[in-house]
Amino acid sequence: MTVNGANLSAADLGDAAAEIQRLKKELEDKEWIISRTDAGLKILYRELQNTTASLETKVRERTQDLEGLNKVLGQDLAERKRAEEEIRKSEASFRNVITRNVDGIIVVDKNGLVGFVNPAAEVLFGRKAEELLGESFGFPVVVGELVELGIIRPGGKMAIAEMRATEID
């Protein structure tokens, strides 16, 4: 047989037909692989979309939770600042009452050491607070009883004072 000017034998034609069948089968396999890969990609794309949507939902929910917590923390911080300011005002008021009090006030710890002296006590003892702080009080402290003290001031001058001790924390 002559095809395009070439003489082909029956064996050549058989070989050509077999090659055509092989190529056709190979093409079908590749189309199947392509089709299958395309279907797989579509499945993967849908899974990716679902995962993305799920993650976005979780991020939105977590963001809302964090925004709520942030608001609560902000309120707590504002309340704490208000409370600290109230404490500062209260301490200033208390200090004002103690320092302006005409009665001498001395705070003595359980070891008998002076921890605080107001201005009236400075006048009564004739010494500055800095001289008394950290020093032994030097008088017996009896809680709840009125005691008369003989205070020897610098220069040897004697002063008499009444003392009432109150226990504090």
15, containing H or E segment: helix 10-100
pTM of the model: 0.52
Determine the pLDDT at residue 8: 57
- For every one of its 169 residues, what pLDDT tens digit does the chain have, with 9 covering 90 and above? 555 666 656 676 677 778 888 877 777 777 766 667 777 777 778 888 888 888 899 999 999 989 999 999 999 999 999 999 999 999 999 989 999 999 999 999 988 899 999 999 999 999 999 999 999 998 888 888 888 889 888 888 888 888 888 888 6
For the chain, give every domain's residue range. 8-96, 102-164
CB 166 within 8 A of CB 143: yes
Determine the pLDDT at residue 167: 81
CB 164 within 8 A of CB 146: yes
Please tell me the distance from the alpha carbon of residue 151 to that of residue 104, in angstroms, as a whole number. 13
Residue 67 vs residues 55, 72, 74, 75: alpha-carbon distances, Å: 18, 9, 10, 12
Return the CATH number of the domain spanning residue range 102-164.
3.30.450.20
Residues 6+ apart with CB under 8 A from 98: 105, 118
